[in-house]
């Protein structure tokens, strides 16, 4: 049985913590934005859609730099959060979670939006005609029927968060025990002399974690599909 070294165990723990936090915190916003883009018409919709998908086309390092400028301790938003709430994102694990959330957010929104668009509007209209308000229609009809897409979005965002590197190292650097996730740890050991063996172990650990995520995604999709058909 493979025994993890302290470096590997710490990197794995941080990766799971960062990815779980990133997906959990961004999920409500992702569902709302996806519903807004799928079901509403409003001025600036194209601009919002473009902003949501911007992290997909920007270099991750550029995203990390923008986060550092805006969310750093002396940034426009980060400085206010620090002064008012004592909350700091730069150079700690919360910043790594924020970077992962920003990078993975477009994948989450895209999957959920496609699922919501696939929901028959006639079913929603029927619920409304029976007296359900917009909130009731969303929570009792739209959201349950969109669960497969939401599950897919969660898995995609979680997997992307696990592999996030560029924005993370730019925004929060590589701090052992604080921001050194698996990709950052792998990069760090490749830059040190004699780190080939450790780099290989970290690479194998990353592959194993990615495969486990994909298997879990397939299992969840099958369960949800069976439940929806039932």
Please state the domain count of the chain.
1
User: How far apart are the C-alpha atoms of 131 and 137, rounded to whole Å?
Assistant: 9
Q: pLDDT per residue over 27-77, tens digit each? A: 999 999 999 999 999 999 999 999 999 999 999 999 999 999 999 988 889
CATH of the domain at 187: 1.10.3720.10
- Under 8 Å between Cβ of 124 and 137: yes
Q: pLDDT per residue over 120-177, tens digit each? A: 889 989 988 888 888 899 999 999 989 888 988 999 899 999 999 999 999 999 999 8
Examine residue 208 and state whether it is found in any structural domain, yes or no. Answer: yes
Per DSSP, helices labelled H in the chain are 6-39, 45-57, 60-71, 76-85, 93-117, 121-129, 134-137, 143-145, 147-163, 166-172, 182-190, 196-229
Examine residue 98 and state whether it is found in any structural domain, yes or no. Answer: yes
**Helix 93-117 vs helix 60-71: angle between axes, to the nearest 10 degrees?**
120
Q: What is the pTM of this model?
A: 0.91
Examine residue 1 and state whether it is found in any structural domain, yes or no. Answer: no
């Amino acid at each position: 049985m493979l025994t993890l070294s302290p470096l590997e165990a710490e990197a794995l723990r941080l990766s799971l913590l960062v990815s779980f936090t990133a997906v959990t915190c961004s999920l409500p916003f992702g569902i709302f934005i996806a519903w807004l883009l799928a079901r509403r018409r409003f001025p600036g919709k194209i601009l919002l859609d473009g902003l949501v998908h911007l992290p997909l086309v920007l270099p991750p390092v550029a995203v990390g730099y923008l986060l550092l400028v805006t969310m750093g301790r002396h940034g426009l938003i980060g400085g206010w959060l620090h002064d008012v709430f004592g909350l700091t994102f730069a150079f700690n694990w919360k910043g790594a979670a924020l970077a992962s959330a920003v990078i993975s957010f477009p994948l989450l929104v895209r999957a959920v939006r496609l699922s919501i668009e696939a929901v028959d509007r006639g079913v929603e209209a029927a619920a409304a005609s029976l007296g359900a308000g917009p909130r009731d229609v969303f929570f009792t009809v739209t959201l349950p029927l969109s669960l497969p897409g939401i599950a897919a979005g969660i898995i995609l965002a979680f997997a992307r968060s696990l592999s996030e590197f560029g924005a993370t190292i730019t925004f929060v650097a590589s701090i052992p025990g604080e921001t050194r996730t698996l990709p950052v740890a792998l990069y760090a050991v490749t830059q040190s002399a004699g780190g080939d063996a450790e780099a290989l172990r970290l690479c194998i650990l990353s592959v194993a974690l990615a495969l486990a995520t994909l298997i879990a995604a397939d299992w969840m999709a099958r369960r949800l599909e069976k439940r929806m058909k039932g």
